[in-house]
Amino acid sequence: MGNRFYFFVISIICTLCFSTAALASNHDILTNYRLHGIKNIQKELDKSLGDKNYWQEFLKNKDTQFGYIESYTNILLCDKSKSELLIYSRDQNNTYKLRKEYSAFTGKFKGDKTKEGDLKTPVGVYDIVKKLSKVDSFYGPMAFVTSYPNLYDRYKGKTGQGIWIHGLPSNQERDEFTKGCIAINNKSIECLNKNIDIKKTILIIKEKTNSRNTVSKETLALLLSNLYAWRYSWLYNNLEDYLHFYAEEFKRFDGMNLEKFKQYKQRVFSKNENKIILFRDINIIAYPNIENLYKITFNEEYKSDSFSFHGKKILIVRLQNNQFSIITEK
């Protein structure tokens, strides 16, 4: 851990030294390090990661048509209003290009899915959690299981399950709609199987054709700077600043409301422990058909004297007045 963290800090120093968004000059950084050591430099660098200017420079040449994406090589985009499922794949230039287009059946009724049996296809951002190679012949040769209901769906109290991407019956008739799944013809589902790695694929389902997929670089810079400002307050035990990033209507994945969450965090922060908190594989995607709502995921490495964690973190945030508010997390 020590060597990895040291090289992580040094890599940030190098980035900042040559960035136009640097908080201090190379000379100032080296002088600070010479006089005060790595811990003092580390704190300044941690703080500077909350600077929007740094992220604007960082994002300048990034493809952000679907948001800021580090860990997904394929984007599945289902537009319910156009009855289509599209595959975008990342090329050697880290740009997402349209690769395949499939006609698709979706739920019988328009609108977002809210409860079991409403015959609607959900609107949202989903993982593909499993491939089913043996399914009833009604679903064609195979099916891909989505993560519905996701964290935001559960926060909103939505019910139901079993939202798949699947094929069509080979020996029987079917309606031109589903009970909520996404259905494509059997050649298309086999083609899809050949073209995606489900661990590196995200599914975006939207309702309106004119709804945006692209997130501006300025917005992404705001979100990333907020993410690291939140991390900074967490890392250096500033409870007031930390809680300022949580919405009044916050409810954690397990149902804990904001007041109980504050009490819990007060106990944790009162230990005043030194921490290591690293974020990797960050993804920020605008929630379809909802203004200023974003899903942020990343792999978190957390270590303190009393606790350690290494795994996936999910935040659902609302962006308002240049700051995000976390409405739920897991």
Distance CA 252, CA 258 (A): 8
**CA–CA dist 12, 236 (Å, integer):** 18
Measured CA to CA, the distance from residue 30 to residue 32 in angstroms comes to 5
Residue 77 contacts residue 125 (beta carbons within 8 Å): no
Name residues whose C-beta falls within 8 Å of residue 62's C-beta, 6 or more positions apart in sequence: 68, 94, 217
| Helix (H), strand (E) at residue 17 | helix 2-17
Cβ burial, residue 161 (10 Å; 0-12/13-18/19+): exposed
194, two tokens: 């050949």
Which two tokens mark 223?
């979100």
- How far is it between the farthest Cα atoms of the chain? 78
DSSP letters, 162-178, are --EEE---SSS---SSB
Bridging pattern class, strands 96-103 and 182-183: unpaired
List the catalytic residues: 166, 181
- 312's enclosing H/E stretch is strand 308-320
Q: Is 190 helix (H, G, I), strand (E, B) or coil?
A: helix
Residue 7's CB: how many other CB atoms inside 10 A? 10
The separation between CA 294 and the C-alpha centre of its own chain, rounded to angstroms, equals: 8
